Structure 1
Amino acid sequence: MVSLTLGGAIASAMALTSIFMPLAAAQSLPNLRILPLGDSITKGASSSDKCGYRKRLRQKLINYGIDSEVNVDMIGSETYGDMADNSHEGHSGKYLGDINTYWQLSIRARPNVVLIHAGTNNMDLNVDVDQAPSIMESIIDGVFDNAPDAVILVAPVIWANDAAMQARTDTFNQRLDGIINAKQKAGKHILSAPIGIGLSDLADKKHPNDAGYEKMAKAWFTWILDAHDRGWLKSPVNVNANELPGMGLGTGTGTGSGDGSAALDICENGIWTKKGTIFEGFRTWEEVGTIVGPVENGRRDKVILADLNNDGIADYILADDDGTVRAWLNDGRPDRWVSLGKVNPPWSTIKGEMIRFADVDNDGKADLIALYPDGAAKVWKNVDNGRKFESLDSKWATGLESRDKIRILDMDGDGYADYVVLYAGGAVKWARNTHNNGKDTSKRNWEQAETIAPGPANMPAGRARLHDLDGDGRADYLIVYEGGAVKALRNTGNLNDGGTGQRNFDDLGTIAPGVSGVTGDMIRFADMDGDGLADFLAVADDGSIRMWKNLGIVGTKGASMRFADLDGDGKADIISVDARGRARAWLNKGSGAWDDIGNIAPGLDEDLSAAEIEFVDVNGDNLADYLVVYGDGAVKAYLNNGNIPEKTKDRIWKQGVVISSGVGEPGRNIRFADLNGDGYADYLVVFDDGAVDCYLNKKNIPPTNGGRIWEEKKRVATGVGEVGSKVRFADLTGDGKAEYIVQYLGGAAIAYNNTGNIPDVGKARNWEDMGTVALGVSPQGPVRYADISGDGKADYLVVFGGGSVNAYVNSCDWKAP
């Protein structure tokens, strides 16, 4: 008998958190406005960069949220240390009584996270030790009274290399723990954040050294994520930085608000002119209506949707209470179904609640499975496109958990349905199908079960689902709420493969906000029209189905958006690309008008999990081409045929051609921009320290006569002390050559003018400091640069998660003073 075992699959909660982090860690952090509050340790005393834990913590949070461009703003009335955004509220030598007034200096900036480590000087100098817990409680209450939406993390006073001081510290920390527990039980969002400091982590008897501050940063980071997992972190309250001077609002380039009008003397009237919202976003789902009417003896819990005949379209199946299975084939048109009648094998002991369908042998046709109360399963092979099923393996699985927890579906995209345990709290265990299916009784049908998702904290019980949304063959993770809203996390295909560096699941956010009259129990997902995308379905009590067609982009729409000129009119158009490379486009008609031309690319039949799709003109015809930048830095180009918007005239894209096999750098470091103004995008490698290597475009795409595509490598920028992930390239001045821009996550930006000396490195410098070109705007979101007005100068675009775009048009004439 082939069996499933749990041996070795259960690890400690900490191991799951640190190794997998597929759900909680994948959920995007909100923007963070952090108030570090305390004494000299908060300030960063005895650290080599004078930043203490603050710089280290900020970088961890920025790196963690890099895909969603989370903004981390440290606030406070004090500044100290070699870091951008060096604001804080750490006051050297001060006691808790003093700190009980200092928090008031910046609390009106409304932090959503407050980090408190205070009391060190009281414990050291034996000042107000008995009153210290009550003073700390007063600090906590004051913060909550003035920032009720904030999360407060309180670190017990760290270990000191002084016996008398440590004795006082131990007593204080014990009482502090009681205060925190009481506040939390009362519903306050507060956590104790213990920090393990030892002798080797101290610079003197009480101040950490760099290693100690690194431990503090890691601890704060861990507890911030814990608060997020609990659902406590909310976006910061909107405040006007101009009305709150001296509180540290902004990310190290001024006040954090405004339009950059003072950035350059040559732009007398400012750089950017606000145009407001120029694009309202786009729909994810389009209502089709009823596709299945009421069926005789139909009932919602009897309905199964699965592809029986390998046409890529889900068919309609009813599993009656007595074990009879009825099926109707779907021809892809609403309410057009071909009845197959009763299709189950002869049986008497199998009842409707046991019936499942899934493709267990990779032939594209769903097989029939009987799932017993203990999770054991038998399987019958689909041998005639849903009309006939023959026994395949009567001992297919012996079970891991009870039937209500078992799901049979493909998690890794190999075409073979796996055995999955989905717990009420959202945790997922996965036993991979070995492809044996009982053929060799000496071999196992399943690999050992392992946890691939620990489950998000505070998720309503029983609301997790597993469905393949995007047609990549891998079941994604959904949270379907009772009211009908749906959140999703995309299966990356990683599934605990630590060598890829990817999470198991990437957060797509809310993919459906809910439909009037549709509750969570009614919702299903299945591809009903054969386009490879799972549609949103509402199954009524009588088994009838209403459908909303999947239009191709689910989840955070802003992250899917690209800006490029597809039709050669000089104005950037909008493209939305999904994880499989499918693309929709809206042509820029000027003055905020957009022509929705629908799909312009059907997607690629290959693994794009580590790839990025970009739209760049690499052959100098003023039409953006479709580029696939692979994880290893290789690039394939599908050249634009010039048939947009007349898509019916001919192919939109030419056959793909490899234009780079890579240069030994990962794809995440690859950029394309025209650095020498010849109209051809060049191949750039942006290193983690902001340095840039350039391979100039030799105007030979597609390559002819075996000629080279790119010139030899040239180092064109050495970096400016900012990480490469912040570096952007865009032509701000309208001379055809891209500037080097450092884009901060809070919206501020500094830029370096392209002098036109590339590629001749023997000339004067390649870049001239332009200073600050943007200070951020309100409301702020991820920033893109693209010319939407057609004047040749890149504009400042703020792209929000729902797909809407606010524009600030580049109105500077950029003439030398």
Structure 2
Amino acid sequence: MQLFQACAFALLVSPALAYPNLPPLFQNVTQNCNDDPSLQRRQYYEYSDLRILPLGASITAGQESSNGCGYRKPLRDALRLATFEVDMVGSRRSGSSFKDNDHEGWGGYTIKQVKEKGQQSYRLKPNLVLINAGTNNCRLNEADARLNGMNEMEDMVRDIFNNIPDVTIILSGLLPNKGFGPCNKLLNDQYGVLVKKIADEGKKILYVNLNDGYFTLNDLADGTHPNDEGYRKLAAVWFKAILQGRQLGLYSDPADNGLAPGGSTSVCDKKPGEYDFSAQTQRGSGADDGPYKHNGIEQGYAISLPSVVRLDIIPQTIHFADLDGKGDDALIWYFDPENKKGQYRVYWNWRAGSDDYYEINVNDECIPRGVRWGDVNGDGQDDFICIGPDGNMYVSLNVWQTPDKPTFQNLGLYFKNPMPERSQTHVRLGDIDGDGRLDYCLIDETNGGISCWRNGGTSDKAQYWQPLGVVFTGKGKDNIDGVHLVDINGDHRYDWLYVNDDGSVDTWINNRGHSKSLRPYWANSGRTHAGFNVKGAPEYIKFAKNSAGGRADYIRLTYVWYGAIPVPLDVNIFWWRNDGSGGTMLKALMITSGYLVGIFRNINSPPNWGQHGWYKIKDWDRKLIRIADIDGDGKCDIIYLDENGSVEDWWMTSYDGGRFSFFKAPSVNNALADTCAGQRNGVGLFDLAVRFADLNGDGRADKLCISPEGRVFGVVSNGIGYVDMGQVKKPEGKDRANLRFVDVNNDGKADMIWLDKFGGTSEVWYNVAMEPAAGTDSSMTWRPGGEAYLQSARGEAIHFANLRGSGRADMIDANPRTNEATTWFTTRCGSGGGDDGPIEDPNLPDVPDQPGGGDGDGDGDGDGDGGDNGNPGPGDAPFPPFKRFIALGDSYSAGIGAGDDVPRDTVYDPEGKCYRNQGAYAHQMWKTIQDPQYDFDFISCSGAVIKDMFRGGKKQFEYLQGTQVELMERIPANEYGWATLSIGGNDLKFSAIAKACLYYPFHQGPCRDRLDRAWRVLRQEQPEGSEFYSDLKKIYHEILDTAKTPGFTLVVTGYAQFFGAITDDCNSRSLARVALLGPKLTTQLRREMNELVLKANEAIQRMVEEVNAEYATRPGDGRRYIRFYNIDPNFNGHRICEPGSSGDEWRKNAWFYTPGNNPDPGVGLPGRDDDEDMYWGDLYPFNYNDCPPEGTETDMGIICDIARANDPGPDSHTGLPDRDVTDAMGWVFKMMHPKWAAHTETSRGIKTNWGTSWGFEAAQGPP
């Protein structure tokens, strides 16, 4: 059994917000997973062991049950009462207060997908497999399910028999379903035939029919999944079948799988590849600082240098370097290389116009064209470098032994050119991996590719050089002299800049990658510097680091030169300050300096987390903040360090079961406050001088001070305070940036892990004892444990945490670009079963021996008259007992394009211009209720902006009887229940961006203008951005204040990224009708549009949190609730340009409508015949059979395209018979809006998250 540990897990990213004590949406039948323990055990049959693998989709997982137990808990209770010893196994778990809650249930998965997931549990060697799968085949593609469903099931069943010796399988049929009952009925019949066929071969297999009249729609919560009583009936059916198998002697003893049932507190070493299972634990929400946007502020003239050298070598004599390590590059001038070799003048205050300087001697007589500067040993101070004509690298180390200027120690040859066919002109130096040490790179002149060698180690000279291979591919530039490696955005990773002939600059940002290498992910920032209308500029352009953000400023050299005089009189220095932003923080688990801490609570339901909003933290450098339990109360505290590693203060964490709070500790222990043995952070993101970990197992975090070479000093808790234990761990030749301290072997003490930067295998040193080891100068004993974790990615992407309470560190792989994370859950020491306390009688219902026949529609009469229209009957689906549900907002809420129009009403939209459709998520949610006493107010209106909704604002259409809030006020004050809202996309002009950037030819100008406008809005830049955030808060307030019912809840939804993972697959594709003329879906365009959506969602989330915090303090009847639901993860795998898409799948399979290609399969709406005429006002009639092939640029082709584009339905008939072509061209209505399936997932997500993932299971519902 696997049990996730419930604990606080703080991530400093943008969360999907959640709030304590929010009443749950659903009022389910109350069934605690632990029933009355006083019931007496009954004897049925003699003792048997069952190791059961529940295998299937969402029904196996228990979806829509009130406690997540589904059928598994009542079935297990019944089996234990019948003297079976039961161990349920699988890689997933769900069910509150249910210890043995393992299963292999994957919501939404087809039979084939279930088979693939089930294979990861074969090693657990179950002796009984319970299979329920196939409903999703009918739901997603009924035709394919009818044709291939039984074949897929046979393939899965035979795969189980072939891989698990002596196993027994019980295959169930499918439950009735109003939407696709006939398909379920067909598969049930086929399953029965399949089981007989396989049983006749001598295999141990049974079949149970779930669609034989015993189950009706009254047993279902939402038309598909059982309600609590339905799950109890399902448990009863399984139980009866298992007893039958026992009578037939079908069960062999469970085979030894190496896991001991019941669990263990034993200690054990970790072996590579030793884990129970892997699962997605983060779905990609998070925060970054957006793409790099350059902003050069002209500063003008700085100083002049009186040159005494020839014109052709002037650029080679002027350099910029940070000699004192304070962050500002000084101007360094090789003022007389002919007569004063190795002598340089240093202008430390040149930006202020000062011509004060001091002279230095670098102890190297390098000629000007070979001179370079950079930090080779990671001490923060740039060293002198000479690149010889053959490309070899020589170094004079900057040691700064005098108080006012540096001195240099000549180290001689530092690195020999590994490619002799390339020379000095091909060499570029830059810190590729961000570890603070300059790496050596060579350009391939034939294609522009750059290969690099990493400067490894912790000493002044490189201890090793690691070949990184080709880290950057050429960009078609014809002159390698324009290539520079420069840290343009201040993140310590050198970016690729190309200076064009006119001085303009093209930039690619170096971001952390994810693959098993150190090759960066390069983000194209386009043309970042405008340049000058002057040819031959590149050699006169330089870059200099500025301490304000660490970004590189742009420098231009000019000179005064008169005719035949061979030497110019002066060299003038002009500069532009770099005030750019973005491109530095990826979507990783990070702390944003001076911002908010967002807390995600581990609620034992990966990949979902309980979300508890944002809390203001101290304005502090994120690399100086630590999170650790200092006081031993089991909750992580927030610790602030100074630059020297001293604990400046720490804030204790309090949690009342609903909300977190932080209190500053009255004092800091002197030992913790001491400086950290002279150690300071390096420049790398993970190169930390101070870490916290529990070395002695007392539950309190100890302070670890780590030197760059990996020597560890410890300040350790002794129960009443902290004591300095000196060196606790000798160095192992591993740099500290790759060291982590976590408990690997379940002894309660932190062990040391070394991560392989390249993604190989991590090594471990076990913490043995708090006493000196023989023959060492360390105060603790450690034991080398060898290889421990097989890394799935490079070291920078790997994290460790004990997520499920096993006592051993699990390995977490977080992709820094997407923040999607997968966790490999380490096997428990002596891992296995576990039980649930006293045996309890679940009192399962009786199962008839000979139930009546069934027709698949679920009405229980077997006559086939169920009227399979996709909606359950009245009262079938329990839903919140509110009096009223209100839908508000824009076209994402109105559901434009998703099915037929809803009937027009006289109150909200008598003329039908709001384009509200039956597939809208709110409408689908309401249709599942079907309670005649339950009112639904569909106020949403396509095209709405925030100001269209305000009380007293301008109405969206003149014929409307008010703004959306004013229409909402027509509802009686005591009838408000809950509402959904989608708003903000039109304020950012998403539709205009789509038209300009995706449909119209020659779009670059309008597209760029509209994108820039949206970014200004989100960044609160004038003139557009000043009101967006305040307007969001205002509309949330107006809605909540209008609703007078106590406990009223508003669910705010965001928007979805349009495009799949960014690859080069779609670069030549276009959404225009004629792709040749239309805008291309370049990686840059797709990435920026996706990032814009994510930033919009972040803005909406943040305003929701702020408003909720304000209402949280209101007492009594004033309490109302607002929460954010992120729809974006629902679209994973269903976006435009998904990687690997072939043919027309790149857009056809997306959950967005696209021009000329809008099928929405599976909706089941009646459509017109292909030859039925369509009319457009006075336009002549035509039909779809007359439409030319797609991509044909003719008048008829344009008309067909417009017709499809303006068709709100998924079929072929137009929804705009009264509009002409001019109107139609101005309204590409449903393009880039979600299809029916996407709205279905939103509906399901809101219902699911309300009761489980948002962490409010214990809250009470509103009246």
User: Which TM class, normalised by the smaller chain length?
Assistant: 0.3 to 0.5
TM-score w.r.t. structure 2 length? 0.26
Report which of the two structures shows the higher radius of gyration computed on alpha carbons. Answer: 2
TM-score w.r.t. structure 1 length? 0.39
Looking at secondary structure, tell me which structure has more strand per residue. Answer: 1
Looking at secondary structure, tell me which structure has more helix per residue. Answer: 2
